[in-house]
Amino acid sequence: MNINYLIAEIGSTTTVVTAIKCNDEGTSILAQGKSDTTIFEGDVNIGLQRAISDIELQLGDKIVYDKMLACSSAAGGLKITVHGLIEDMTVKAAKEAALGAGGNIKYITAGKLKPNDIKKIKEIQPNIIIIAGGTDYGESETAIYNSKIIRDEDINIPIIYCGNKAAEEEIKEILKNKELYIVENVYPKVDELNVEPTRKVIQEAFEKNIVKAPGMLEIRKMVTGNILPTPGAVMEAAKYLYEIIGDVLVIDVGGATTDIHSVTLGDRKITDILVSPEPKGKRTVEGDLGVYINADNVINLLNDYELNNYSKEYVKTQIKAIPETEEEKYFSNLITKKAVEVALNRHVGYIKRIYGTANSYMAYGKDLSKVKYIIATGGALVKLGKGEEILTSIRYNKEDITMLPRKEARVLMDNFYVMACVGVLLKENKKIAEELLRASLNI
């Protein structure tokens, strides 16, 4: 049987491969195959082949595919360290760019790098180092200094420079023997973010270097098209969805992390009182909130009411990578709900009243009050039967001022589990990607 596209999502615990057929009648998913991710066996192709074999078993036929695309968060995902000038300005801007591209930020510094910072970078062995700093034609000494330190320490890791435009030529000369990417400044003017150019280059660098990650060496032997970091692929889908239906919030609860992507400009009344700018597309990743690998962390956050007379120790015994019994599903849904609530509270901003001044407020962080749609993706929300109920419960039902999604926001389920697939496919064929997205979300 001929398949037009196979799209592999290589996760930290599970590899899912989606078989897509395209013809005059439209786009359809023929099957989805699953396997454990075989990163610890040193070759992700083993898991890929098993997932493809699962598809063939479902279809009762051998398959031949025209093209295979992939996204991956295995092997630690896209590990990034960020080094800027001022924490609330260029560092924050570079961090937003890295997260939106699907990065897993392992270390952040502000100001000139110190010996201990270099030690940490070497221990982390990131996939990408980001150097930022200074508005255009402003301060450049810090970025130049940091570039020299990284050069002199012989750190052979791809470097993205997205700082002061005036320092570009000197940075190029300093790092001329490195894999260097020069990008537009992420913070060109005070209170102005410019994260999209850096996000694009981060994904390009990831695709070029993913084969160097442990256990990923063989991936190119099977994957013929694009490879994106999985969270970055979901963000690409979210941004495209914004163009179709408006302001969106996408929540992805996984085995190791909980990712939240929002694409919204927020309410003008709130953005006018923001202390610092926020990007239209924002992603936060909570590396301590997962429903399998990091389940213990979430369980430890449950209160007595949520536990409903069960002990935390008992709940831990019921958590499985793929819940099968009703009891296992009950407890997985319990911790999924908790992971969503905690992750959302970390993603959304807050409003603070200024006392002594009538009706005066200041806003901090991301405003979600204009979100029209809340999208559930990831196995925990889509496959366990309670995703819509969980996401409905996070809407704010009162009338007072808030930055949370309002009660009018609709919940949509990524029924076919294709948000990441769509993000990768958008780079190949937007028409097919949109058809797939609309079918999965039933829009």
| Mean pLDDT to the nearest integer, 344-355 | 91
Lowest mean pLDDT among 42-51, 194-203, 264-273: 42-51
Average pLDDT rounded to a whole number, residues 109-119? 96
Q: Is CATH 3.30.420.40 the classification given to domain 2-75+215-221?
A: yes
Q: Where residue 8 falls among pLDDT bands split at 50, 70, 90?
A: very high
Fold match flag (2-75+215-221 vs 78-212): no
Q: What is the pLDDT of residue 221?
A: 76
Q: Which of 393, 102, 433, 412 is nearest to 250 (CA)?
A: 412
Tell me how far apart the alpha carbons of residues 70 and 215 are, in angstroms, rounded to a whole number: 15
Give SS3 for 15.
Answer: strand
Please state the rounded mean pLDDT for residues 93-108: 91
- Whether residue 403 is predicted with pLDDT greater than 70 in this model: the reply is yes
Task: Quote the pLDDT of residue 327.
Answer: 95
Query: 12 Cβ partners below 8 Å, 6+ apart?
Result: 37, 39, 73, 74, 77, 254, 255, 256, 293
CB 216 within 8 A of CB 44: yes
pLDDT tens track for 172-196: 999 999 999 999 999 999 989 999 9
The pTM is what? 0.87
C-alpha 257/C-alpha 278 separation (Å) is 23
- CATH of span 229-441: 3.30.420
In terms of pLDDT, which residue wins out, 339 or 285?
339
Give the residue extent of every domain in the chain.
2-75+215-221, 78-212, 229-441
**Element (H or E) spanning 34, and its range?**
strand 26-36
Kindly state the average pLDDT of the residues 404-420.
95
What's the CATH code, domain 78-212? 3.40.50.360
Residue with the two structure tokens 């970055």? 232
Burial zone of 397 (CB within 10 Å; 0-12 exposed, 13-18 middle, 19+ buried): exposed
Q: pLDDT by residue (tens digit) across 9-21?
A: 988 778 899 999 9
Mean of all residue pLDDT scores within the chain: 91
What pLDDT sits at residue 104? 85
The pLDDT value given to residue 40 = 75
